[in-house]
A and B are shown apart, each in its own frame.
Chain A
Amino acid sequence: MPHTISPHIEHRLELRGIRKAYPAVVANDRIDLCVRPGEIHAVVGENGAGKSTLMKIIYGMVPPDSGELLWDGREVSIASPADAQKLGIGMVFQHFALFDTLSVAENIALALPGRPPIEPLSRGINEVAARYGLPIEPERHIYTMSVGERQRVEIIRALLQNPRLLILDEPTSVLTPQAVETLFVTLRQIAAEGCSILYISHKLNEIRDLCHTATILRGGRVTGMCDPRQESPASMARMMIGADLPSFRHRGDTLAGKTRLSVSGLTLPTQDPFGTALGDISFAVRGGEILGIAGVSGNGQQELLGALSGETPLSNADAITIDGKPAGHRDPAGRRRLGLCSVPEDRLKQGSVPSLPLLENVLLTANRNGAIRAGLIRFDRVKAYAERCIQAFDVRTPGAQAQAGSLSGGNLQKFIIGREILQEPGVLIVSQPTWGVDVGAALIIRQALLDLRDRGAAIVVISEELDELFEISDKIAVIAGGRLTAAIPIAEANRDAIGIAMSGQSAGDEPDERASKELAHAL
C-alpha cells in the first residue's frame, strides 16, 4: 500500500471559511484548517464545539453552507462519503457501524466498492493486519469481539482503501490504557508512511503524546492552533474553554463510617443475546466513601446499574442491602425510600424527559417530602426544588420552565445530579457522571460528589474515564465480562494493573492467562 508523499503540495487538505448552521445553532463558523501529508493533526474542543460536524463535512455526510474545501491544492466538493473515499479519505467513527452477526471479512466487504469476494479480501485483511500490527481473524464474528477489536476492524476497513487522510473520532474513549498505547503505535506508523490523520479528541494528555499540530475549536470557531508538544494541558484547556479551569477542592482524608450499601452474590442472567450476565458480584461501600468501578463499556456496567438502582429487581432480597435493610426485591421507588438514588448513563433517554420542563423532571425522582398531597402535585414546592437545584449546581437555563432538552449536555447533567443529591441520599449510584460534559461542568459535578461523600453518603461511580476515577474514588474495582474484581484502596491501585483487569477477563485485547496472572500479581 504505497503512500505517495508529494513534496510540492504543502497541504493535503485545506478548509477555508467553512460554515454550517443548524436551526438552533451555528455548528461551524469561518473554520480554516490545514493538514499536511503525514501529519497527525488534532481537532480539540469540548462537546458541542463543532468537531463532529466539521468531520462530517470533510467526509461528505453534511454539506457546508459556505466555504471551500481544497484537496491537494485543488478545490473539490465532497457530496457523499463515496466521494470522500474516492479522494482517499477514510473515517473511523466513534460509534462503530458493524453488523454483529457477520464476520470481519463480510463486514468489510459490505463497505468496499464492488463488493469484493471474501477469499482474496481475507488475504488483504491479513496483510494489512500484519503490516500495522493489528491482529485480527477475518472469519471471526463481530459479536465475539471486544470493543478494542471492533475498532481494529474499522481501522483496517479504512486502511484497505489506501487512504491519504484518515479521520478518527474520539478513538480512545472505549479503550483500555494498554490498547491506547497499541493504537498510537499503529497511528504513528500510518502517518510515517505519509497518510495524514485528523484526530478528534478532548483528552489533552493523549493529544500531547500523539499529535504534531492541534486546532482548537470553541463554540463552532477556531480559537487557537498550537503544537501540543509545546503546550501544557492547562494552557490547551484554557484555549478550549476560554477561561482558566475553576479550582478543584481536593478531597480530604477518608472518613469512612459504617457500611451503607452491601452487595453480595449478585448474579443476573441476561435476556439480551448481546447483553452481559452479571456473575457473583460482591462489594460493600461505607458512608463517606466513593467506590469507583472502572471498565470498558459493554462489560456489564448497564446491567449492574440496573440491578443497583432497582430497574431490574432481583428475586433475592438480601443480595442488596441499604443501611442493613434488604432491598434486592425493591423497585426504584422502593429503594429511593430506603435512601438509594441513582443517576443513569443516558441523560436524555433515561435521566430526564427532554420534552418536559425542568420542574416536571424534578418529579421523576424527587417526589417525596411533601411534593405530592392527596395524589395531587404541589407545583409550588416542585418549582422551589427545581430552582434550588438550578442555583446550587449552577445550571445555566432561563428557568424551571425550560424544557430539559433545551439545556446543553453539561447543564442537564448538573441538573440531574443535583436533583438526586438534593434528596440527600444515603447511597448514590452514578453512571458516567461526566460523559460528554464540558470541563467546567465536570468539575462542578465531581466536587458535588465529593461534598456528598464528606456528608457521609456512600457513593458508587461507574465510569469509563480512568482519570476521573483516580481523581475522586477512595477505592477502585474493575468490571470485566460481568464480573467485578475486589476493590482496592486508590493509593495502592496502579493504572497498568487496572488497565489489564479491564481487558483481561473478557474475550479481551490481551491473552487471558497473561492478564489474569498480572492481575493476580497487581491486585
Chain B
Amino acid sequence: MRFEPRPNPSRIMILMSPVIAIALTSIVAMALFALAGQNPLEALIIFLTAPLADLYGFGELLIKAAPLVLIGVGLAIGFRAGIWNVGAEGQLTVGVIFAGYVALKFGPAGGWWVLPLMVIAGAVGGVFWAAIPALLRVKFNASEILVSLMLNYVAALWLSWLIFGLWRDPAGFNFPQSEPLAPDALFPILIADTRANVSVLFALGAVVAGWLFMNRSFAGFQLKVTGLSEGAARYAGFGVSRAVWIGMLASGAAAGIAGVGEIAGPLAQIFPTASPGYGYAAIIVAFLGRLHPVGILLSGLLMALLYLSGDVAQMSLGMPSSITGLLQSTLLFFLLTTDVFIQYRIRFQSSNRQGAAT
C-alpha cells in the first residue's frame, strides 16, 4: 500500500473530507458513550439533538455559533494567504478589555452610542493585539504563529489583572467579576424568548463580507496568490508584507468584535476568562469550513452544537463536559487526515497494468 499523488486535487474529496471526518468523529463519540455505559447510538442522538429541542435551544446555538463564525471568517482571510494567526483568543480578550472599558466608563450614563462605540473599541483592541505579531513578522520575520500564540497568555493576564483589581465589582462579594454592564451596553435581543442577540447579525455580515472579499475583490485575490505561490506573488508585485497586515488585522478585528459579543451578550458582565476558547475553536471552524465563508457558517453551527452538547453530556449522560473539547480536537484530527486524500490516493498494489491512465 502506498500513497500516490493525484494528477489534480480531488474536488469530491474537498467536499467529502469534512463529511467523512464528522462521521469518524461520531464513531469515536459512540465508543466513548459505550465506555461510559450508555447505549452508543441513543446517546449520540441525545447528544446531538437534545440541545435543539426547542426555540430557546436554537437561540443558544446561534449565540454560540456567532463568535465562531465571525472569528472563523476573519482567520480564513489570513489562512488563505498563508498567514497563520493562532492568536484570535488573545485578540478577542483585548477586544473585551477595550470594549469593557467603554462599557464600564460610559455605560451607566447611557446613550444609544455606547454600543456602537464598544464595537469599534473592540475591533480596535483586536487589531492592536494582532498588529504586534504582524509588525514583528514584517520587520524581523518573526513567526506570527509563535508570537500570536504567546500573546494569548499575555492578554489573558491583562484581563485577569483588571478584573481582580481595578474593575472588580465592589458589590460582588469579592468574586472576580466586573459590575453588571448597563442596559445601553448590551446587544438587543433578536429573537424573542431566546438569548440570541444582534451579534448573530455580525456573524452573518462577516459571511457576506468575507465571501465578497475573498472571491470577488482584487485584494482578496492578491492574498490568495500570496498564499499559493510566493514566487508568483513576487513576480506580480503582490507584497507579502501587505498580505501579512491584511490577514492579521482582518482576523484581529473580527476576534475583537466577537469579544464585544461575549460581554454585551447573555453574560452582561466581564469575567477573567473572556471566552470558552472560541479563538482556538474558530481555527477548527475555519478549516472544517474549507476556508470558505459559507462552509465556515455550517462548521460554526456544528462546533456550537458540540459546545451545547457538552452540557447535555454532563446533565443527562453523566459525562464530563470536557467531552466537547475532546470531540472538537478529534474532529480536527480526522479532518487533517482525510484532507490528505484531496491531493493523494491510496494504491494497494503496484500492478503491471495501470487502469487509471486517463
Question: B112 contacts the other chain (Cβ, under 8 Å)?
Answer: no
Asked whether B232 lies within 8 Å of A349 as measured between CB atoms, the reply is yes
Per-residue A-contact encoding for B163-202, CB less than 8 Å = 1, 0 else = 0000000000000000000000000000000000000000
B contact residues around A372 at 8 Å (CB):
218
Asked whether B356 lies within 8 Å of A364 as measured between CB atoms, the reply is no
Q: How far is the CB of B192 from chain A (nearest CB, A)?
A: 38
B contact residues around A349 at 8 Å (CB):
229, 231-232
Partner of B232, one of A22, A25, A65, A351: A351
Asked whether B221 lies within 8 Å of A363 as measured between CB atoms, the reply is yes
* Cβ-closest chain A residue relative to B4: A23
Question: B350 contacts the other chain (Cβ, under 8 Å)?
Answer: yes
Bound-state Cα–Cα, A355 to B227, Å: 12
Question: B354 contacts the other chain (Cβ, under 8 Å)?
Answer: yes
Bound-state Cα–Cα, A19 to B274, Å: 63
Question: A50 contacts the other chain (Cβ, under 8 Å)?
Answer: no
Q: How far is the CB of B7 from chain A (nearest CB, A)?
A: 4
Bound-state Cα–Cα, A66 to B352, Å: 6
User: What bracket does the count of chain A residues touching chain B fall in?
Assistant: 35 or more
Bound-state Cα–Cα, A355 to B350, Å: 28
Q: How far is the CB of B301 from chain A (nearest CB, A)?
A: 28
Bound-state Cα–Cα, A168 to B229, Å: 33
Partner of B352, one of A65, A342, A367, A375: A65
Question: A112 contacts the other chain (Cβ, under 8 Å)?
Answer: no
Q: How far is the CB of A265 from chain B (nearest CB, A)?
A: 24
With A331-B237, A353-B232 in contact, do A63 and B350 touch (Cβ < 8 Å)?
Answer: yes
Bound-state Cα–Cα, A11 to B233, Å: 52
A contact residues around B357 at 8 Å (CB):
21-23, 25-26
Asked whether A65 lies within 8 Å of B225 as measured between CB atoms, the reply is no
A contact residues around B141 at 8 Å (CB):
none
With A25-B357, A377-B217 in contact, do A355 and B235 touch (Cβ < 8 Å)?
Answer: no
Asked whether A406 lies within 8 Å of B8 as measured between CB atoms, the reply is yes
With A351-B232, A363-B218, A364-B225 in contact, do A23 and B356 touch (Cβ < 8 Å)?
Answer: yes
Asked whether B218 lies within 8 Å of A310 as measured between CB atoms, the reply is no
Q: How far is the CB of A319 from chain B (nearest CB, A)?
A: 18
Number of B interface residues in the complex (CB < 8 A): 30
Asked whether A377 lies within 8 Å of B216 as measured between CB atoms, the reply is yes
* Cβ-closest chain A residue relative to B237: A332
Question: A160 contacts the other chain (Cβ, under 8 Å)?
Answer: no
Question: B219 contacts the other chain (Cβ, under 8 Å)?
Answer: yes
Question: B340 contacts the other chain (Cβ, under 8 Å)?
Answer: no
Asked whether A332 lies within 8 Å of B235 as measured between CB atoms, the reply is yes
B contact residues around A66 at 8 Å (CB):
352-353
* Cβ-closest chain B residue relative to A311: B234
* Cβ-closest chain A residue relative to B347: A23
Partner of A23, one of B6, B217, B353: B6
Bound-state Cα–Cα, A291 to B216, Å: 40
User: Considering the complex, which residues of chain A in the window 449-468 have a beta carbon less than 8 Å from any beta carbon of chain B?
Assistant: none
Bound-state Cα–Cα, A350 to B357, Å: 29
* Cβ-closest chain B residue relative to A20: B354
Asked whether B221 lies within 8 Å of A350 as measured between CB atoms, the reply is no
With A350-B234, A364-B236 in contact, do A375 and B354 touch (Cβ < 8 Å)?
Answer: no
Q: How far is the CB of B29 from chain A (nearest CB, A)?
A: 35
Asked whether A311 lies within 8 Å of B235 as measured between CB atoms, the reply is yes
Asked whether A309 lies within 8 Å of B235 as measured between CB atoms, the reply is yes
Question: A24 contacts the other chain (Cβ, under 8 Å)?
Answer: yes
Question: A356 contacts the other chain (Cβ, under 8 Å)?
Answer: yes
Asked whether B235 lies within 8 Å of A403 as measured between CB atoms, the reply is no
Question: B358 contacts the other chain (Cβ, under 8 Å)?
Answer: yes
Question: A106 contacts the other chain (Cβ, under 8 Å)?
Answer: no
Partner of B221, one of A309, A331, A377: A377
Asked whether A356 lies within 8 Å of B8 as measured between CB atoms, the reply is no
* Cβ-closest chain B residue relative to A360: B221
A contact residues around B5 at 8 Å (CB):
23
Q: How far is the CB of A409 from chain B (nearest CB, A)?
A: 16
With A331-B237, A363-B218, A375-B219 in contact, do A346 and B231 touch (Cβ < 8 Å)?
Answer: yes
A contact residues around B235 at 8 Å (CB):
309, 311, 332, 342, 344, 350-351, 364-365
* Cβ-closest chain B residue relative to A365: B236
Bound-state Cα–Cα, A351 to B229, Å: 10
B contact residues around A493 at 8 Å (CB):
none
Asked whether A375 lies within 8 Å of B237 as measured between CB atoms, the reply is no
Question: A523 contacts the other chain (Cβ, under 8 Å)?
Answer: no
Per-residue B-contact encoding for A1-33, CB less than 8 Å = 1, 0 else = 000000000000000000001111110000000
Asked whether A364 lies within 8 Å of B354 as measured between CB atoms, the reply is no
Give me 22 A-to-B residue pairs in the complex whose CB atoms sit less than 8 angstroms apart, sorted by A's number: A21-B356, A22-B7, A23-B5, A23-B356, A24-B7, A65-B354, A311-B235, A311-B237, A332-B234, A333-B237, A342-B235, A353-B225, A356-B224, A356-B228, A360-B221, A364-B225, A364-B235, A375-B217, A376-B212, A376-B217, A377-B221, A406-B8
Residues of chain B at the chain A interface (Cβ within 8 Å): 4-9, 212, 216-219, 221, 224-225, 228-229, 231-232, 234-237, 239, 350, 352-354, 356-358
